[in-house]
Amino acid sequence: MTLIFGLLLDAMFGEPRWLWSRIPHPAVMMGACVAWIDRRANNGANRRAKGVIAFGLLALAFVLLGFVLAAIPGHAVDIIVLAILLAQRSLVDHVRLVATALRQSLSAGRTAVAQIVGRQTATLNEAAVSRAAIESAAENFSDGVIAPAFWFAVGGLPGLLLYKITNTADSMIGYRTEKYAEFGWAAARFDDLLNLIPARLSALLIWLTAPNRYALPAIMAEAPRHRSPNAGWPEAAMAQVLGVALSGPRTYDGVRRDYPFVNDDGRHLIGPADIENACTVLWRTWALGLFAALIVTLF
């Protein structure tokens, strides 16, 4: 029942500002560890080998920390750590803020969505801002809710901390740029591996919020069109459930990337109402995941 209580605790309280404004959030501490190895080891020759060794040692350290925490008697520590490292409530809150801001003005919407996506937002129109928010909702539901819950169910706190440090490292150094293509290779590939099952499980759960026998084959066909081997699955499912087109061209660091649309036949002119609908889908999907976890726990 530890997983159930962790999911419920996160959904009820999210990330209370009064707490994390006073002490560092564990995710921030993980980020500091990744930044430290980046500064220390990402230089000179043999960057891929250095990246493999540095990431391997960092992952091992967090797995060992997981075993230490798991050895504490009782289930309170497990529940608290799990609730802290899940992100359902905070994800929905941040995505919904984009809809609220977009209703105020396009400029406010751009500012709000810039907090949750990495692309350049200064020239996005209303549809592009909405699309970015919905994509973030789908991808981060997989990365921030289903994957941590899955790896906690499989490996307890060691599995959860291994996933979180890997995902954090991927988000910081897992880029195909001159600086990180070699050094971040191990983190990026291991993150792909750890998200392989959760991403597809997320897509299945999203689809089950509005099951349509025609949508499932479409999700399976559209997901590989995405630039990411995993993010395409929850995004393709969300696109089908909402009837919208996602992904598509965007700009990073001044460079336009002409990525294909996922569900190109869906609506392209979308707005705040569609973001709100995506948030509703997130809560319905979370409820399905909670129910599935309860069934697994009981039987």
Read off the pLDDT of residues 257-284 as tens digits, 9 standing for 90 and up.
788 899 999 999 999 999 999 999 999 9
The arithmetic mean of pLDDT across residues 13-25, rounded, is 89
- Residues, the chain: 299
Is the pLDDT at 152 greater than 90, yes or no? yes
For the chain, report the end-to-end CA distance as a whole number of angstroms: 12
Average pLDDT over all residues of the chain: 94
**Residue environment code for 168-206, b if the CB has 16+ CB neighbours within 10 A, otherwise e:** bbbbbbbbeeeebbbbbbbbbebbbebbeebbbbbbbbb
Q: Which residues contact 54 (CB under 8 A, 6 or more apart)?
A: 37, 40, 41, 183
Is the pLDDT at 249 greater than 90, yes or no? no
What SS3 state is found at 208?
Answer: helix
Residue 286, phi-psi category: left (phi > 0), alpha (psi -120 to 50), beta (remainder): alpha
Structural domain count, the chain? 1
Distance CA 97, CA 49 (A): 42
Q: Which residues contact 40 (CB under 8 A, 6 or more apart)?
A: 54
Q: Is 141 exposed, middle or buried (0-12, 13-18, 19+ CB in 10 A)?
A: buried
The helix (H) or strand (E) run that includes residue 215 is: helix 215-222
- Expressed as residue numbers, the domain containing 198 is 2-298
Distance CA 285, CA 291 (A): 10
Q: Which residue has the tokens 């992100």?
A: 87
> In this predicted structure, what is the pLDDT of residue 18?
86
What tokens were used for 288? 């399905």
Contact 66, 158 (CB under 8 A): yes
Distance CA 4, CA 234 (A): 22
Contact 102, 108 (CB under 8 A): yes
Distance CA 66, CA 135 (A): 31
1 vs 125: which has the higher pLDDT: 125
> In this predicted structure, what is the pLDDT of residue 212?
87
Q: Return the bridge partners of 262, or none.
A: 246
Which pTM does this prediction carry? 0.94
Nearest to 91 by CA among 108, 116, 111, 112: 116
> In this predicted structure, what is the pLDDT of residue 273?
97
Amino acid of residue 30: M
Is the pLDDT at 122 greater than 90, yes or no? no
Residue 94 CA: distances (Å) to CA of 79, 208, 253, 294: 23, 24, 23, 27
- What pLDDT digit, counting tens, does each position of 27-39 carry? 999 999 999 999 9
Distance CA 255, CA 276 (A): 30
